[in-house]
Amino acid sequence: MRFIFKWSSTLAIWGVVILGGMTAFYAYDLPSTDKALEVTRRPAVTLLAHDGSKMASIGDLQGRAVNVKDLPTYLPHAVISTEDRRFYNHSGIDLIGVARAMVINLKAGRVVQGGSTISQQAAKNLFLTPDRTFKRKYQELLLAFWLEQKFTKDQILTIYLNRVYLGSGTYGVDAAARKYFSVPATKLTVFQAAIIAGLLKAPSRLNPRADIKAAISRGKVVLANMVAAGYLTEVAARRAAKSNLRSTHNHPAQKIGRYFVDWISEQVRGFIGPQSGDVTVQTTFDARLQARVEHQIERYLAQNSKRYGVSQGAAIVMSPEGAVRAMVGGRNYQKSQFNRATQARRQPGSVFKPIVYLTGLENGLLPESQFKDSALSINGWKPRNYDGKYHGEMSLKEALSRSINTIAVKVSEHVGRGNVVKTAKRLGITAPLTTSPSLALGTSGVSLIEMTGAFAVLANGGHGIWPFGVEQIKNFSGRVLYRRQGGGTGRIIERRYVKAMDDMLGEVILTGTGKKAQLQRWAAGKTGTSQSFRDAWFIGYTRQYVTGVWLGNDNDAPMKKITGGGLPAIIWQQIMNDAHADKFVGKRPRVARVKPQTKEKSFWDKLIRSILSAD
């Protein structure tokens, strides 16, 4: 007996020494507990469409802080009966629960039940990472003991219920209740509370947004646990399981406009700063129109992809003031998040020519001014027309409608390439532009959103715009943090030049290269095709909408002779028909003749003219 006592005491002492050493070692770099209750998550951004409907949520959502005593009793009961039935009887570690979990896991041959207490889970959520290491588990035990010493049981449960992750970017029971059932946590029903408690096992897989059937099934398991723990009668559990849960379907996951969502999410913090917390953003997005634009792009690409060797497309629809209503950045967001409407810079080809002709009008030319379509050589560079022919004398109006390359270059050389670049910059083109003679033919890469924005200036009568998608931003309490004010840069093109461009670009659709884009209303636009058919564009406008369409391949491979007046014009027509489905068909605007610039008349000239013109 003395021998056994001696070595038992020795082993006990060494056990205490080793345990103390381990505790000291792992406690040395424990995270600070001073900031235990601070929120450490990404602020949530909720995006609303133009009509106020919810379209997407970004970041992590945390609801209002709730106290256990303010919650319906069945919510903490659901959590306790499922996660830690002996919560109020242990001091941070439930040895009975650990032993029970070990037996169950050994019988199953795999881990089917954990032994962590709510105190341990709270410690992990507050201070530690989810890494599955011995060090993390030991530190979790130490912090669980600390929590038990520092706070009451109800306080620990309150901390846990406010900080636990419950799927779909939600942290805490109040955020989950609002996300899944559109009610605060204080208004949850018994079965809704059971479903939320059931999420603790696998929040990403069992939440109602991911799998409503799995969520309901798991909720019934929680109800059974509540009955077993004595918190609920079997009759009450059966009644709860039959309750209506249609509210879980109120806000289905956003499946359209993903490129628009990405575009907006990159801008929000720039408007309000990084420390603004959860916000709600009112956008310019039109969900109905977006769905139609996505349908038309995919429809025509699916029908013509192999035939014409085209794999990608993009489209932008905006108001003449620059409010982006729809945005398609590619055929399949799941396969590629690269936004070809805002991030890609492609050669616009003849879509750039209106900028050249506008510069000509502002420098004294008229739509009726005559230029000769003939061979041209500038430092050895010789532009050619699409058909390889020359057509002699014609007006600028006809040259634009027929997309004559030589005359566009001659106009650019006549007014000066530097002036053409200045006009482009004034219209909102920020991409670097070449100053070579080929500038007039759109050989510098630009984005679809910028080119569409340049046409919007013509659509709104000559006022500068910046394409935008955010109208207003509010914080969690409803205070306005940002509200869009003003309409851009003011008038940047004189009205007479805008009307002349309306007439010239209207002719493109009536008789020129854009005939396939004709609508049952007045419209103006321009086709564009880059070298070797690598890019095909159509951008045009009415008084209600401005739309740009681009087709091409990500690897810059040539298509099989797709021009801007072909498939892009057809897609543009379909999109605009959809956009104007509920719009009144107005009359074609009256076009004023652009008068040549003349010197100011003297006083005597005006007096003599008035006398001669008098009756």
DSSP 504-546: HHHHHHHTSTTGGG--SS--EEEEEE-GGG-EEEEEEE-SS-E
In 3D space, the residue among 289, 294, 292 whose CA is nearest the CA of residue 259 turns out to be 294
193 and 321 fall within a common domain: no
Cβ atoms 150, 158 nearer than 8 A = no
Helix-helix angle 74-83:118-127, to 10 degrees: 100
Q: At residue 10, what are phi and psi to the nearest 5 degrees?
A: -60, -45
- Residues 128, 134, 140: CA angle, nearest 5 degrees: 35
Q: At residue 340, what are phi and psi to the nearest 5 degrees?
A: -75, -10
Please tell me the distance from the alpha carbon of residue 357 to that of residue 397, in angstroms, as a whole number.
9
Residue 597 lies in a domain: no
Q: Give, in order, the Cα–Cα distances in Å from 167 to each of 179, 183, 187, 374, 564.
A: 10, 16, 20, 67, 46
Residue with tokens 């070595």: 7
> At 536, which helix (H) or strand (E)?
strand 535-541
Q: pLDDT by residue (tens digit) across 225-276?
A: 999 999 999 999 999 998 877 544 444 445 789 999 999 988 887 888 766 6
Which residues are registered as beta bridge partners of 491? 463
Give the per-residue pLDDT at 86.
Answer: 82
Cβ atoms 206, 215 nearer than 8 A = yes
**What is the SS3 assignment for 576?**
helix
Residue 354 lies in a domain: yes
Q: Exposure of 480 by Cβ count < 10 A (0-12 exposed, 13-18 middle, 19+ buried)?
A: exposed
Residue 451 lies in a domain: yes
223 and 325 fall within a common domain: no
467 and 545 fall within a common domain: yes
Residue 46 lies in a domain: no
415 and 557 fall within a common domain: yes
Residue 542 lies in a domain: yes
Please list the active-site residues.
83, 350
Helix-helix angle 287-308:567-579, to 10 degrees: 160
Residue 23 corresponds to which tokens in the numbers above?
Answer: 């505790």
The secondary structure of the chain in percent helix, strand, coil, rounded to multiples of 5, reads: 45, 15, 40
Residue 325 corresponds to which tokens in the numbers above?
Answer: 């209503």
Q: pLDDT by residue (tens digit) across 406-456?
A: 999 999 999 999 999 999 999 999 999 999 999 999 999 999 999 999 999
301 and 421 fall within a common domain: yes
Residue with tokens 């050493």: 21
> At 10, which helix (H) or strand (E)?
helix 2-27
Q: Taking the CB of residue 421, how many other CB atoms lie within 10 A of it? A: 20
328 and 402 fall within a common domain: yes
Q: Which residues of the chain have pLDDT under 50?
A: 25-28, 33, 37, 39, 101, 105, 110-114, 128-129, 132, 247-253, 587-601, 603-604, 606-615
231 and 130 fall within a common domain: yes
User: CA torsion angle for 176, 181, 185, 187 (degrees, to 10)?
Assistant: 180
- Domain hosting 153: range is 58-249
Give the per-residue pLDDT at 592.
Answer: 40
- Pairing, β 546-552 against β 535-541: antiparallel
Give the per-residue pLDDT at 597.
Answer: 42
Number of domains within the chain: 2
Q: Taking the CB of residue 338, how many other CB atoms lie within 10 A of it? A: 15
448 and 334 fall within a common domain: yes
Which of 222, 249, 276 is a domain's end point?
Answer: 249
Cβ atoms 35, 163 nearer than 8 A = no
- Pairing, β 170-171 against β 61-62: parallel
- Residues 285, 288, 289: CA angle, nearest 5 degrees: 70
**What is the SS3 assignment for 451?**
helix
Residue 21 lies in a domain: no
243 and 295 fall within a common domain: no
| C-alpha neighbours within 13 Å on the C-beta side of residue 461 | 9
**What is the SS3 assignment for 435?**
coil
**What is the SS3 assignment for 347?**
coil
Write the CATH number for 90: 1.10.3810.10
Cβ atoms 25, 8 nearer than 8 A = no
Please tell me the distance from the alpha carbon of residue 170 to that of residue 60, in angstroms, as a whole number.
6
204 and 337 fall within a common domain: no
Q: What is the DSSP letter of 82?
A: H
Residue with tokens 């003395």: 2
> At 613, which helix (H) or strand (E)?
none
In 3D space, the residue among 276, 272, 294, 277 whose CA is nearest the CA of residue 285 turns out to be 294
Q: Give, in order, the Cα–Cα distances in Å from 536 to each of 257, 311, 364, 568.
A: 23, 12, 31, 7
Residue 400 corresponds to which tokens in the numbers above?
Answer: 């634009």
Residue 265 lies in a domain: no
331 and 236 fall within a common domain: no
238 and 302 fall within a common domain: no
Q: Exposure of 388 by Cβ count < 10 A (0-12 exposed, 13-18 middle, 19+ buried)?
A: exposed
Q: Taking the CB of residue 11, how many other CB atoms lie within 10 A of it? A: 10
The sign of the CA dihedral 104, 107, 111, 112 is negative
Provide long-range contacts, Cβ within 8 A and 24+ apart, for 23-28.
23/142, 26/135, 26/138, 26/139, 26/142, 27/139, 27/142
Residue 513 lies in a domain: yes
Q: At residue 438, what are phi and psi to the nearest 5 degrees?
A: -75, -5
Q: For the chain, give the number of residues.
A: 615
Write the CATH number for 465: 3.40.710.10
Which residues are registered as beta bridge partners of 318? 324, 546
